[in-house]
A = this chain, B = another copy of it.
Amino acid sequence: MAKILITNDDGYRAKGLKNLIEFVKPFGEIVAISSETEMSGTGHAVTIKNPLRLRQHNDCGESIYVSSGTPADNVKLAVNCLFDSEPDLILSGINHGSNTSCNVFYSGTLAAVIEGAMLGIPSIGFSVDSYYHDFDFSILRDYITHIVNRAIEYIATNNRNMCLNVNFPAIANPKGIKVCRMAKAKWVERFEKRIDPHGYPYYWLDGEFVFTDVGDDSDEYWVKQGYVAITPLSLDMTDYALMSQLKAWEL
């Protein structure tokens, strides 16, 4: 039986977290941790200047640890304080909203995954391309248990370097699974300037996701085609191509 840490960035009341716990329970001993509030867009923030609070929340027989911290904090806290020995696997999600492409940088769901992988623990994030509040996560059950099963088999016989970003299309019957690279895309921002009742300006961040990738092998491409996209992520962000060009600078 595997020891599995489950977390997310949508807060402890999120339906996606409860569903993920339920789907994965047959695989072993589950410990779940989440944040008091929604933490979307927190990226890889960690809480250094303030201490963290931690409590247990019981809901329909499920116990979830709830912290005042961020998704990255929660992984650190759980691995250190809630396990006698390291978990075998960390799962994060299921996130409302796709985390393909550059969304990895902004996503708390993926920060938890990257944090887990940094600690040397195989980690997988699950996100679905839908913001509908009452999305039926049960349609993802078979895919998630299939992927977790394969991951557990893989880490039993290979090294533990595993940092996976899984994105689902918001359809009942995905056409299959594709192993993908991270798409090239960016957010083109607009700031809406408003004036408060006291006469002072404030700015709302709003943006449009602009897909600039022309390849047919990226995560965003395949999710939009109705496939489940699995993108393996590396913790080594070095740009080796630019590195060789930099060596030609007169430094």
Q: For A25, list chain B residues within 8 Å (CB).
A: none
Number of copies: 2
Given contacts A42-B45, A43-B45, contact A203 B81 (CB under 8 A): yes
Given A43-B44, A43-B45, A47-B41, are A239 and B163 neighbors across the interface (CB < 8 Å)? Answer: yes
Q: How far is the CA of A207 from the CA of B47 in the complex (A)?
A: 12
* Interface 1/0 per residue, A106-134 and B, CB below 8 Å: 10000100110011100000000000000
Question: Are A150 and B45 in contact (CB-based, < 8 A)?
Answer: no
Chain A 139-167, CB-CB to B under 8 Å as 1, else 0, gives 00000001100100010001001111000
Among B41, B48, B150, B177, the residue within 8 A (CB) of A40 is: B48
Contact check: which of B115, B191, B233 meets A237 at CB < 8 Å?
A: B233
In this complex, the interface size class of chain A, counting residues with CB under 8 Å from chain B, is 35 or more
CB distance from A144 to the nearest CB of B (A): 13
Chain B residue contacts of A47, Cβ below 8 A: 41, 205
Interface segment, one of A12-20, A26-34, A87-95, A180-188: A180-188
In the complex, chain B residues whose CB is within 8 Å of the CB of A114? 105
* 15 A–B pairs (Cβ distance < 8 Å), ordered by A: A43-B43, A44-B105, A46-B205, A52-B191, A52-B204, A53-B203, A76-B205, A79-B189, A147-B251, A150-B251, A179-B243, A181-B243, A184-B235, A232-B243, A232-B246
